[in-house]
Amino acid sequence: MRNNSKICIDFINPRPYDVASFNERVEQCCSWLEHDIGLNLRGRVPEYIKKASKFERLRGYLNDEMYYTLQSYHELNQIIMLHESLNAQKSKQFITTLKKSVKGISFRDQPNRSHEDQARNHMFELTTASDYANSDQDLDLTRRADIIIDESKLLIECKRVKTLSAVNDRLIEAAEQIESDETGYNGLIYIDITEIFEELHTIYCLNETGPLPHLKGISNDEETKLFIEEKLNENINPYVNNKIISNFPTLSDKILGIVLIYNFVGFHISMFHERVITGRMKRFVKLSKNIPTPEIVSSFF
């Protein structure tokens, strides 16, 4: 098995005089959901907007309340992605899935309400679809498979897991769905592994408020991204390698690969700026040696 990784990060400046552009995108997204999709926005989205607005009051604190504020930015950013990438989708199936995706509980760590968290399954499908939509692929979100890309003859099945023991069961389930699909296409399986880890309240913080080394400036986007990548390599990847990837089940040759997704939030603070970090780590594990991976997949890694 050959695997590659990629870190996808968005930076959001939450200070009152800088956050206007992000808030405008939120407003445009909410307008789309309400007027074009026909949603009555209650629950998750208004709560995220409310919590994100508390940033100014929480400045300087890295506690649970700040975590929920950062997580609210992350959730809003994902919903914005759907608006900006998938607004051309008009099918009944897409609209039904979208409506389901913005319902449910606001945050993942509510075990007494975990039965209400099906919305994130649909959100995961749609955020995965938005990645491919951004590469100018024509997506079919109307059939049984989660995502179909006819041009590349590719099926994509998306699964979320909350425990290590569920990983292989969900992989086998997804593989069976791909094998039995009427298109006969080969497929990829996307697995969101975020909730396996006991660090849902982790904030990856790059603090550059102290004295800087001689001639070293504030970390730019690429340097901040490298900092996050190093922390993920320390905290997440050893477990992923030793407990998840090494124990993958044997799957059909129709399964080209598995993409593991880990969501994270962070914060970059310096004497000049404060930035919310919202991102995803993608680990692509290629399984089939005999079938070439479509170029569209390779371009992501």
What is the model's pLDDT at position 283? 94
What is the model's pLDDT at position 29? 95
State the 10-residue block means of pLDDT for the chain, 301 residues long. Answer: 81 86 94 91 89 84 84 95 93 92 80 67 94 85 87 94 95 96 94 84 85 69 94 92 94 94 92 89 87 73 66
Question: Domain range for residue 55?
Answer: 2-298
State the pTM of this model: 0.92
CA distances from 2 to 10, 186, 252, 274 (A): 27, 18, 16, 37
The upper half-sphere exposure of residue 24, i.e. CA atoms within 13 Å in the direction of its Cβ, equals 5
Q: Which residues, in sequence order, are bridge partners of residue 127?
A: none
State the Cα–Cα distance between residues 132 and 136, nearest whole angstrom.
Answer: 7
Number of domains in the chain: 1
25-28 own/partner pairs: CB under 8 Å, 24+ apart: 25/80, 25/83, 25/84, 26/76, 26/80, 28/83
